Each structure stands twice: as structure tokens, then as C-alpha cells.
Structure 1
Amino acid sequence: MAEDFLYFLWQFQYFRHNDLRTAEGETLRVIHPGVRNADSGPDFTQARLFLGDVEWVGTIEVHHRAADWLLHRHHHDRAYDNVILHVVWDNETVELRRSDGSVIPTLSLCDRVDPRLLQRYQDWQAESGVIPCAGRVTEVEPFRRTAMFDKALLERLERKANGVTALFQDAKRDWEETTYQLVASAFGFQVNAEPFGQLSRMVPLKILNKHRNNLFQLEAMLFGMAGLLTSDQPDVYETALQREFRFLAAKYQFRANPLPPHIWKWSKLRPANFPTLRLAQLATLLSFPQSLFSTLIETGDPAALLRFFQVTPSAYWQTHYRFGKATETSLSTLGPSTAESLLINTVLPLLVAYSHHADRPDYRERAVALLEHLPAENNRVTRIWQQVGVPVRTAFDSQASLELYKNYCQSKRCLSCQIGVSLLKSR
């Protein structure tokens, strides 16, 4: 028996209440089931109930079996002394006591739940589709679907903002360096995000800024520390970069060795996504005179932000996608959808993280407004939601649908989802 189903039963009181008694034989009347606790400690707080003629206020702990209390060692944790009721599926006649020796009353639900409700939940969990409620999701009132999408979107923004905050702490609380590392990782577009992130930590922004007016030198440092200046027969441009990198590496005494070339992924990537071209584009972005951090958090116009990311690299990379490999077609400028992806994965989490840091809710509101003005992303997950009848019109919708799919549908957390709860209650 999954505990999330038991949480659902207790939270919504989906069990028979006639002649409700604890395992100890005491009459029980629930006034309020409490509030679900997402942190450590008992599962529900602020519960109110009557045991016999005495009103109790405290916490509720939920388990499959009564013995799980001992298995989880709650009897050694004083945080559980305030538990006023232990709700279980199977009681197993295990007597539990608080640290002061008083008995913790137990309520068993296995004989009080409609078997059809349990069967529906089990059928749901056995569903092999990527979205368990795919066949019925459109039955849920639109306002409930919207509320869950809003919740998922905010969870996604907060999770990504927490990542930015961690970067900020590692970067010695320097917002410029944080923004640079965030943008660099985003230029890796998942496949090469990790090596891009490593590279940004190896080549500090304060060094790159000293050569902001010399794109060639920026490329030399980035390509050199990326371990990509290693051709056996380099062309003229790579040879010049190698020479410049040796000079700059000696000048700044880079502490780390260049990244090993094998760390970069090329397989199944279109030439436009090759790490060499992305690095060249990043170098161009870093050559701009304005502050990267200020530009990203103060520019409220989505079109202006997209233009900022749609950079054109140096002349060499307008005709090459790898060293020594010329192409007849231009692959250099970032396309609109790529720029939108960069904006979503850098500007939005940066705005939310800075909103918390500066106690400025308006930055968080700006992040949400940007999502509402950007078109929806077109990927496998958004197409799945469209196929089951859920409209995905803006980037707000697509980001929410990604979070809902990855953190709820895939792990079948249906009873933590307002859509799933609504469907189960409706039957």
C-alpha cells in the first residue's frame, strides 16, 4: 500500500466514519485532519480531533503498517511526541508509546475504505501510459487544471532559482560571475551543459573581461581551456589560436589543465549545435561591452532579450562548424527557438533567484510575464500534452507541462497532483 494513497484517504477523509474507533477501542471524531507537512517530522500538522470526550490538537503520522513506526525509529525522535493519532492501513496490534510512556492511539483504515476506490487507484498506478490520467484529463474542470499547471510552473522556477543561488554562493556571491557561469552552462543545451559549466569555472569572467574588446583572445582562452585546440594538422586560424592561448595561459597562470577533448559530445548533434560553434557564439556574447547580469535582469522586453542572444560569431565560425571543416551554408547565428531556450533557462531562474536575494517580488513577476509572452516550446513532452487534449500555447504552459510530466506523471505522483486528486474524488 503506497503511503500517498493513505495521505489522500486521511486528507480528504475518504473512509467510513460510522462508529469510528481507535485500535484501543476509544471513540474518535475528526474535526480537522490537519495540514500536509512537506518537511521532516510527522505527516500532518495542526490536526484537531476528539478521543472520547477530550479534544486533542497536534500532529498525525501515517504508515502502511503500525510497525513502521518502530522501523523508522520514530520512538527515538522527540519530534513525534506531539502525535495525537497514528493512521495506518494494517494495525498488526502493535502498541506504540511516546517518550513519557503514554500510548499513541492508532486508527486502521483497511476495513473502512471502499474497495472500488482502492482498485481504481491500483489500476491507475498500473497504467503503462506516459501520463496515467491521459484518457480522462480533459474531464477535470479547466480551472483545476490551470491551478495545477500554475503550481508546477512555480515549483520549476523555484527549483531552478535554487540552482542559481547555489552558483551564487560558489561564485563568492558575485552576480556577474554567477550569470556568466549560468549562461555558459545553458550554451551547452543539456548535452554539453556540464563541460560548458566546468569551462566557465576554469576561466573566470574577471580574466575574460580584460579582453572583452578582443574577440580573438576570448576565443583563444575558451577554446584552449576547452581542450579543443588539438588538431594534428591545424589550419591557419587554429594555429594562431594555439599560439595566442599559450601566451595567455602563461600570462594568467591558469591553475587547471585544459579539459580532455573526449568530454565534449558530438554524436547525434546537428552541426549548428556542435560545441565549437556554441563556444564561438558564447565568446561573441562575452565581448559585448555591457554587463551581462544587468542586461539580463533589467531588460523587460522579450524581443530585446531574444535579439541579445541571437549573436553572430567571428568570421571564421560563419563558414566553419569544426576546425578545418568549412561549410558552404551559414550555421553561425542562433535561431529564434534556440534563443528562446537560452532565455528560459538563464533569464528566468536568474530573475527569481535575484528576487529572493534582493527581496524584490517584481523580478519574479517579470519572470512569469516573460513566460506568458514567449511562444510554447515544441518538444516530445509538449506534444504529448497536446495529444491528450491539454492546450500548450505559451512558454508558461510548456514549462509547466514539462515539470508536471517529469516530477508528477513519470513517478506517478497522481495523489500529489490536483488533477489526479480531482479525478479520483470524482468517481
Structure 2
Amino acid sequence: MPESFLYFIWQYQYFTTTGLTTTDGETVQVLHPGFRNHNAGPDFTNARLLINDVEWVGTVEMHTYTSDWLTHRHQYDRAYDNVILHVVWQDDRSKNSRRGERTNGTALPTLEVNSVISPALLDRYAELNHSPEWIPCAGRFREVPPLKITSMLDKAMLQRLERKAANVLDVVVQTNGDWEETAYRLLAVTMGFKINADPMAQLSRTVPLKAILKHRDVLVQVEAMLFGTAGLLDDEVDEYVTTLLREYRFLAAKYGLTNNRMAAHEWKWGRLRPANFPTLRLAQLARLVTQHASLFSLFVGTSDVDRLLKALQITPASYWQTHYRFGKATEQASSSLGLTSALAIVVNTVVPLLAAYAHHRGQPAYIDRAIRLLERLPAEKNHLTERWETLGLGVQTAFDSQAAIELYNEFCFPKKCLNCQIGAALMKG
């Protein structure tokens, strides 16, 4: 039995709580189970128990087996000296064998719980844990009260914002606190649209925004730095590429870009629509960073979602009106960065940036703005949101779709049903 199940039944006291005794026959009454500790140390803190009518206040530790206390070497760790009860699924040690003890040698009261849990609860847990459905609760999802679902989606969305904010703050550290450079790097990754996110990230680290802004009045020079460093200017297939190569050689020497030049094979082209080709995305990125004097001000200072979306829907250089790749002309290319891409930038760049800035400044108002943006944007449409809708989950806004994605990725797929309010409701029965 996994320890996560023990955490669950202890936190909610889903077992027979009357007539409890330790493995030594001491009576146990739970006055308060304590609070789940997600950091290092015992599993529950500030628990209050009556053991043989003596009140104890301290921590509670959970293990599948009694012997796990020794296996994990807690008997040598003073952080576990304030454990007042050892809760185990099975006591696997005989009365004559050494039991769990603190660093000072005092024995721990041990409570075995496998015999005081309802068989029906175990059946419901097995049903969720071994479900063959795409999410464990798919067959019973409609049984859950809507309020529980809404509450869980809110929790998932806030968790997603916190996680993304932490990732952004890591980039802030990498850029030595430069929020402009951070905004540029986040934008580049988003414009890689998953399949080319990694090479976009590498490129944005190699070609700094500071160098780009020195040439923002000459778009072809910015394109030259990006395309050349990306390793996409190998052949002089037409006059435009020749111009880019000439500019790149000068600028690469000026900014020391040659040694960090990427290889063309690092970019993915397969199964991509021409509108998602890396060449076109880089051309759009070049236009975006040169059209706006401050990406950070645009992303963090614009509260009007329509204005923000309009500012993002740019058209790259004229060459890209008839090209998706160098040297291969087409009658008319759909080169503008459209509404769908602009929406993706707001969701995956602007919102995480706002969440991170809220932490940095200690101003929750930026989190509120991020949430309002998500609530005003339409939901993302993909196979995952479509599957959620088949279960009756209304996915109408970007807040809904982001929450649904987080719920699946962080709770449903890894089967963390016991950490989910929806799963907990179904377990309760």
C-alpha cells in the first residue's frame, strides 16, 4: 500500500477511530490529525493525540511497514525525535525484533491501520488506481458535485501559475535580474510552439536582446543575427539571403556570435504546416522585438486584452509575403502572426511573466491581472480539452483550458487521485 494512501486516510480520518490501540496495546485517540508537511521531515505536524489517556502534541510519520523507520534511518535523525505516533499499513516486525525508536533510544508508539479501514474504501481506491480509462475517474466524473470540480480547477490553475512563475524567476536569475531579457527569452520559447521551443530557447540565449535593440531600426540586420546564428543561412539561394549573410558576417564578428552558431539540423520541420516553419517564426520574432521598444512594458503594462492581442498580430518583412523558406517562393504566404498565435503568446508568455512579477514585487494585483486575462480569452482547443468536454466539463475560457490541462498533467495522468478534490470526493463515496 503506497504511503500516499496512508496520508489520505489519516488526513481525513477515513478509518475506524474508536477502540484504536498501538501494537503494544496502548489506547489511541486522535484529537487532531495535524497538518500535512510537504517539506523535509515527518509527514504531519502539530498533531494532538491521547495515548493511554496522556495528551501528546507533535508529529506523525507514515510508512507502509514498521521496518521502514529503520530502513530510512530515522533513528539517527533528530528531526524525527518529536514523532509521537508511527502509523503503518502493516507491522512487519515481531515483538522480539527491534522497533522504531528516536535518537535517544525511546520506542515509538506504532499504529497498524490495515484492519481498521473499510473494505468499501479499499475497493474505491483500487477502482481508481487500476482504471483503464484515460483518466481514472472518467466513468464516475459526472457523479462529482460541480462545486468540487470548480474548486479543484481553481486549485490546479493556481498551481500552474505558481509553477510557471517559478520557471520565469529562474530565467530572471539567469539574466541577472533583467526583466526585458527575460520577456524576450520567454517570447522566443513560446514562438517555438513546442516542437521548436528548445532551439528557440538556445537562440535567445545566444543572441541577447541588448544586441538586437541596437539595430531595431534596421530589420534586416536583426533578421541576419537571428537567422545566421540559427544556422539557417548556409546557401546563397537568392539576393535576400546574400544580403542577410553579408550582414550576419559583420554582426557575428561584432558581437562574438560565430562560435555559438547553431546547426541547421537542430530545427524541426517534419509534420509542420508552412505557417509554423522555423524560418517564418524567426521572421515574426524579429518583427516583434523591433516593433516594440519594450516587450516587458507591453506584456506587463497592458491590461486591455484586445489591445495586447492587436499589438502581437504583426506582419514580418515583405520577403515573407511570398516565402515560407529561403529560396522557395510561393504565390502568397500567410506570413502574419495571427490571432491563434497571439493568444498562445498571451497564455504562455504574458500570464507567466505577470505571475512571476507579482512574486518579485510582492504585489498580488499582477496575479489578478493574469487571471483576468485568462478569463477574457477563449479556451484553447486541442485533443485534451475535447476529451474533457466529453465528460461534461465546460471549457469556455483560457482559464478553463489551462486548469484542465494542469489537472490532467499533474493529477490525472500520474494518478494522484488522493491529492485531487475530485478523487477525494469519489473515495468518500
* TM-score, L = length of structure 2: 0.97
User: How far apart are residue 263 of structure 1 and its match?
Assistant: 0.5
Q: Distance between the aligned counterparts of 2:287 and 2:419, measured in 1?
A: 45
- 1:318-397 equivalences under 5 Å are 318-397=321-400
CA contact (8 A) 2:385 2:405 kept: yes
Q: Distance between the aligned counterparts of 1:142 and 1:253, measured in 2?
A: 58
SS at match of 1:61: strand
SS at match of 2:84: strand
Please, which of 154, 159, 184 is the counterpart of residue 180 of structure 1? 184
Say whether residues 1:37 and 2:40 are aligned partners. no
CA contact (8 A) 1:284 1:312 kept: yes
Say whether residues 1:127 and 2:128 are aligned partners. no
SS at match of 1:256: helix
Matched residue, 1:101: 105
CA contact (8 A) 1:212 1:289 kept: no
Deviates more, 1:91-100 or 1:410-419: 91-100
User: How far apart are residue 282 of structure 1 and its match?
Assistant: 0.2
CA contact (8 A) 2:252 2:258 kept: no
1:191-211 per-residue CA deviation (whole Å, 9 max, x = no partner) reads 111110110111111110000
Matched residue, 1:398: 401
Amino acid at match of 1:329: Q
- 1:133-282 equivalences under 5 Å are 133-231=137-235, 233-254=236-257, 256-282=259-285
Q: Distance between the aligned counterparts of 1:277 and 1:332, measured in 2?
A: 7
Say whether residues 1:12 and 2:12 are aligned partners. yes
Matched residue, 2:91: 91
1:246-281 per-residue CA deviation (whole Å, 9 max, x = no partner) reads 011122222633101110001111100010000000
Matched residue, 1:60: 60
Deviates more, 1:67-76 or 1:25-34: 67-76
Amino acid at match of 1:238: V
Q: Distance between the aligned counterparts of 1:76 and 1:391, measured in 2?
A: 52
Amino acid at match of 1:56: W
Deviates more, 1:254-263 or 1:280-289: 254-263
CA contact (8 A) 1:177 1:204 kept: yes
Matched residue, 1:2: 2
CA contact (8 A) 2:169 2:356 kept: yes
1:193-247 per-residue CA deviation (whole Å, 9 max, x = no partner) reads 111011011111111000011111000000000000012x511111111111001
SS at match of 2:299: helix
SS at match of 2:260: coil
User: How far apart are residue 370 of structure 1 and its match?
Assistant: 0.4
Matched residue, 1:75: 75
User: How far apart are residue 289 of structure 1 and its match?
Assistant: 4.2
User: How far apart are residue 102 of structure 1 and its match?
Assistant: 1.2
Matched residue, 1:110: 114
1:317-359 per-residue CA deviation (whole Å, 9 max, x = no partner) reads 1111100111223321122122111110000010010111111
CA contact (8 A) 2:324 2:333 kept: no
Matched residue, 1:302: 305
Amino acid at match of 1:54: V
SS at match of 1:287: helix
Amino acid at match of 2:20: L
CA contact (8 A) 1:42 1:60 kept: yes
Matched residue, 2:295: 292
SS at match of 1:62: strand
User: How far apart are residue 97 of structure 1 and its match?
Assistant: 0.8
Q: Distance between the aligned counterparts of 2:145 and 2:398, measured in 1?
A: 22
Amino acid at match of 1:199: L
Q: Distance between the aligned counterparts of 1:165 and 1:90, measured in 2?
A: 43
Say whether residues 1:409 and 2:412 are aligned partners. yes
CA contact (8 A) 2:389 2:395 kept: yes
SS at match of 1:223: helix
Q: Distance between the aligned counterparts of 2:163 and 2:102, measured in 1?
A: 37
Say whether residues 1:27 and 2:27 are aligned partners. yes
* TM-score, L = length of structure 1: 0.98
Deviates more, 1:331-340 or 1:202-211: 331-340
Identity, in percent, stands at 55
Structure 1 residues 247 and 255: alpha-carbon distance in aligned structure 2, compared to 1, 3 A threshold: closer
Q: Distance between the aligned counterparts of 2:280 and 2:297, measured in 1?
A: 25
Q: Distance between the aligned counterparts of 1:293 and 1:255, measured in 2?
A: 28
Q: Distance between the aligned counterparts of 2:158 and 2:332, measured in 1?
A: 41
Q: Distance between the aligned counterparts of 1:29 and 1:20, measured in 2?
A: 7
SS at match of 1:354: helix
CA contact (8 A) 1:376 1:394 kept: yes
CA contact (8 A) 1:179 1:293 kept: yes
Structure 1: state its 5+ residue gaps: none
